Amino acid sequence: MSLKKINQVKSDRGFKIWDLLVYGLILAAAAALLIAVFVRRDNNPLKGIIITVGEETALTYDFETGIAEYTDVEQGGMIEVEQQTESLFVFSVRRGKHYNRVRIDKSARTVKVIAADCSRNDCVYTSAIKDNSGMIYCSPNDMKIMPYDYHESPDIII
């Protein structure tokens, strides 16, 4: 390296205005990328769910208050409660001879169908509802579980 170049480098020590501008832009780009990744996801926590059979509401469950509203099978409703603990609520949604067994995990705020008597058991294979884009639909038994603030999922199985 020539003496002239060494002197030039020495005199350039510290940050010039262009260095600051470029570093600033890099930071802004990183922040924008992070925001872009997280804003696209609808990961709002599940507030509650509504279970319908046909056009009738069988049960609603509110995670905020922990209140479940339903009518028991014995009182002419469609819900047969099997287990109710601090963290779990397991029940069957019954219509005639048909049923879908549902587990609500109160602490994890998830809802899943764990057994059913429908032919293909698609509802049982459907992933648990974890946020507002989840939904479980059992076509043979006409049973649907939807979040309060339902957001349509971009993933469809045909």
> Is residue 5 part of the contact set for another protein (CB under 8 A)?
no
In terms of Cβ atoms closer than 10 Å to its own Cβ (0-12, 13-18, 19+), residue 111 is: buried
Instruction: Dig out the tokens for 88 from the structure.
Output: 């779990």
Among 12, 54, 67, 72, interactor with another protein by CB under 8 A: 54
* Residue 148 CB, nearest approach to another protein (Å): 10
Say how far apart CA 66 and CA 86 lie, in whole Å. Answer: 10
Say how far apart CA 22 and CA 133 lie, in whole Å. Answer: 39
Among 3, 13, 14, 36, interactor with another protein by CB under 8 A: 36
Among 7, 12, 15, 19, interactor with another protein by CB under 8 A: 19
Length of the chain measured in residues = 158
Among 35, 67, 108, 115, interactor with another protein by CB under 8 A: 35
> Is residue 6 part of the contact set for another protein (CB under 8 A)?
no
C-alpha radius of gyration, the chain, whole number = 27
Angle 47-38-41 (CA atoms, 0-180°, nearest 5)? 50
Q: For residue 79, give the nearest of 96, 94, 90, 99 by alpha carbon.
A: 94
Among 6, 29, 108, 115, interactor with another protein by CB under 8 A: 29
* Residue 141 CB, nearest approach to another protein (Å): 11
> Is residue 152 part of the contact set for another protein (CB under 8 A)?
yes
Q: Where does this chain bind another protein (CB under 8 A)?
A: 18-19, 21-22, 25-26, 28-29, 32-33, 35-37, 39-40, 42, 54-55, 119-120, 125, 137, 139, 142, 144, 146, 149-152, 154-158
